[in-house]
Amino acid sequence: MSHWIIAPVVLPAVLGPLIVLLMRNDLTLQRVFSLAGTLALLAISVALLAAASSAGPEVYLLGNWPAPFGIVLVLDRLSALLVLLTAMLAVAVLLYVIGTGWDARGRHFHALFQFQLMGICGAFLTGDAFNLFVFFEVLLIASYGLMIHAGGGARLRAGVQYIAYNLAGSTLFLFALATVYSVTGTLNMADLSVKIAALPEGDAALIRVAGVLFLIVFAVKGALVPMQFWLPNTYALAPGPVAALFAVMTKVGAYAILRFFTLMFGPDVPATGTFYAEILYPAALLTLVVGMVGILGAKGLARLVAFAAIGSMGTLFLGMAPFSPQTTAAVLYYLVHSTLATAALFLIADMVLERRGTDTLAAPRPPIPQNGLIAALFFAGAIAIAGLPPLSGFVGKLLILDALRNTGPYVLAWSAILITSLIAVAGLARAGSLLFWKAYESPPEPVPHDIPPPARALPFVAVGLLLAGLVAMTVLAGPIMGWMEETAAQVHDPRPWIDAHALPQEEE
Amino acid sequence: MEILVASAIGVITMTGIYLVLRLRAFPMVLGMSLLTYAVNLFIFASGRLSIDMPPILSPDGAAYVDPLPQALVLTSIVISFGMTAVMVMMALGAFLETGHDRIDMTGPQEDEQ
């Protein structure tokens, strides 16, 4: 049993308190340790990914208690992939934060950042439903702090909204967990999978209620319509790099839906069947439309990117709805792509905001410093998120379209994806031309609104890293897709996952 | 007893949801607290209702009550307590910064950043 499985949780969990207790007053020291810790996390997650792809699911027993009684962490390809994605994103965001000095605008950024990483990695790795709730709360409570970093009235008010929405979601999560426990008497995910499959007919109604509650809770996290209302304000008003890190938080919801509804409420379970797929499909269509139309109507650049994030979640859930291995492989590819692309766009939006003083799309303003370079970055990011060739968004959408074609009626889903892509292209083109092009037509301001900050290389390196990730995903699409297909096959075959727990056989 | 507990949970949840929907900071904090009380009772009830039984196995094999929901309730109480504290602080900060305690964000102040 490899102890490295718990490292992505323990490392940030140790580093966070160390930063807050010992390095409180020394920003340089905080930066060094935070960056070193995140790089170490990246190295660990690469090693975990290598371990997960060469062997089957591996279970880590916390405190060495046997499986259904103690809490377990489980490493399989899916969780290793998402932990790696989190670590990659964290490194880029951290470089950007250090480069722009966002961490100096408020206190305790790095400690909260580490706690956030701990919560996200824990949520991806845990094999216990209640423990998933606990990690959700860890990542949420850190995100509350990060979201209102550097303060401001509007940001604080959006923060209160965000907390209220997610607290209500957590309450629902607890209701769902209690319902599941009262029916099955366990909260270990592998044990639940076995118990739910063997449930007598009379208990089917209760477990169905629990299934729908879980779907609602994860839909809140994944910003699935009609649970998306918290996202635009939160992402648009959060500090840019924090919003970029939050790009992976919606994916926690997507991950949880994929895990729960393949492992526990699979399509061959008599008690639940495929009813949640029938719920997910129309909701995903609506999410897609709301997000992409929002791009066209957004009044600010950050809000535009927030709606793009909703739209990409719609595409993702639309691909996920059939719950077949082929679509899941495409969805996983798109998931990695959309996380990187959304994060890059949030960082670019923050660059524009920093130089322009406002990110409003209502009227052109004079050109910003480094206009050409930032325009080029925005152009690349917009191409990626809208799904135009040559970047990975195109490959991802093509894979999802192709996979949907083979899993039943596809006309509605195809037209939704294609038409909304066109709307997104129009919205992004409008924003880009207004921000970077028409800037030259507007009269220069008599006094610059702000002294332009000296050009620093590190923020551009951070955005460049994310975009380089997208390019690498495009170039290596073949091998990556091969790996994703094996991952999807593993996700849809929960038997080895359950067997790895070595559950005791029922004595009755 | 089932009816008593079930209706108590129902009434508390109802009151909590009503208060949350008032869209002002203080009623919302109260409503969220009530919702968490309701869910704590609900978790407690998920281990089946029973009176006068210890939550541990005894050597003589006497009846016992499921101890796990009690542990879960402890966790959930601690977490909801912390979350309520965070929310009170944020609501207070928002109130002091903006001068009002409305939760919904419509109107011109939405565009300031």
pLDDT at position A1 is 54
Q: How far is A239 from chain B (nearest CA, A)?
A: 10
B110 belongs to a structural domain: no
B47 belongs to a structural domain: yes
Q: Do B103 and A177 touch (CB under 8 A)?
A: no
Give A59's Cβ-side CA count (13 Å radius).
23
B81 belongs to a structural domain: yes
Q: How far is B51 from chain A (nearest CA, A)?
A: 17
Q: Do A157 and B98 touch (CB under 8 A)?
A: yes
Return left, alpha or beta for A474; rule: phi > 0 is left, psi -120 to 50 is alpha, else beta. Answer: alpha
pLDDT at position A357 is 81
Q: Do A141 and B90 touch (CB under 8 A)?
A: no
Q: How far apart are CA A508 and CA B13, in angstroms?
A: 38
| ipTM associated with this complex | 0.91
Q: Do A174 and B42 touch (CB under 8 A)?
A: yes
pLDDT of residue B111 exceeding 60, the answer is: no
Q: What is the CB neighbour count within 10 angstroms for residue A52?
A: 23
Name residues whose C-beta falls within 8 Å of residue A409's C-beta, 6 or more positions apart in sequence. none
Q: Which two tokens stand for residue A344?
A: 């890059």
Q: How far is A387 from chain B (nearest CA, A)?
A: 29
Name the strand (E) or helix (H) holding A216.
helix A204-222
What is the number of CB-based contacts under 8 A between chain A and chain B? 118
pLDDT range class, residue B110, cuts 50, 70, 90: very low
Can you give the residue range of the structural domain that contains B36? Answer: 2-53+63-98
Q: How far apart are CA B17 and CA B34, in angstroms?
A: 9
> By CA distance, what is B76's nearest residue in A?
A174
Q: Do B112 and A130 touch (CB under 8 A)?
A: no
Chain A residues with at least one Cβ partner in B under 8 Å: 130, 134, 137, 140-141, 144, 148, 151-161, 163-164, 167-168, 170-171, 174-175, 177-179, 181-182, 185, 187, 233, 236-237, 299-300, 302, 353, 358-360
Q: How far is A390 from chain B (nearest CA, A)?
A: 35
Are the C-beta atoms of A436 and A371 separated by less than 8 Å?
Answer: yes
Q: Do A182 and B72 touch (CB under 8 A)?
A: no
Number of domains in chain B: 1
Q: How far is A378 from chain B (nearest CA, A)?
A: 21
Identity (one letter) of the amino acid at B57? L
B109 belongs to a structural domain: no
B105 belongs to a structural domain: no
Q: Do B83 and A159 touch (CB under 8 A)?
A: no
pLDDT of residue B113 exceeding 50, the answer is: no
Q: Do A178 and B46 touch (CB under 8 A)?
A: yes
> By CA distance, what is B27's nearest residue in A?
A164
B104 belongs to a structural domain: no
**Partner A contacted by B46 (CB < 8 A):** yes
- Residue B39 is nearest to which of A148, A151, A175, comparing CB atoms? A175
B58 belongs to a structural domain: no
Tens digit of each residue's pLDDT, chain A (508 residues): 588 999 999 999 999 999 999 988 889 999 999 999 999 999 999 999 999 999 889 999 988 888 888 899 999 999 999 999 999 999 999 999 999 989 898 889 999 999 999 999 999 999 999 999 999 999 999 999 999 988 888 888 889 889 989 999 999 999 999 999 999 889 999 999 998 888 887 778 888 899 999 999 999 999 998 888 899 989 999 999 999 999 999 999 999 999 999 998 887 787 777 788 888 999 999 999 999 999 998 989 999 999 999 999 999 999 999 888 999 999 999 999 999 999 999 999 999 998 888 888 888 888 888 888 999 999 999 999 999 888 999 999 999 999 998 877 789 999 999 999 999 999 999 999 988 888 887 776 655 555 555 668 899 999 999 999 999 999 999 999 999 999 999 999 988 999 998 888 765 4
- Residue B39 is nearest to which of A153, A163, A174, comparing CB atoms? A174
Q: What is the CB neighbour count within 10 angstroms for residue A479?
A: 9
> By CA distance, what is B28's nearest residue in A?
A164
Q: Do A178 and B97 touch (CB under 8 A)?
A: no
Q: Do B90 and A156 touch (CB under 8 A)?
A: yes
Report CA-CA distances (Å) from A347 to A236, A244, A300, A353, B8: 12, 6, 14, 10, 49
Q: Do B79 and A152 touch (CB under 8 A)?
A: no
Q: How far is A246 from chain B (nearest CA, A)?
A: 19
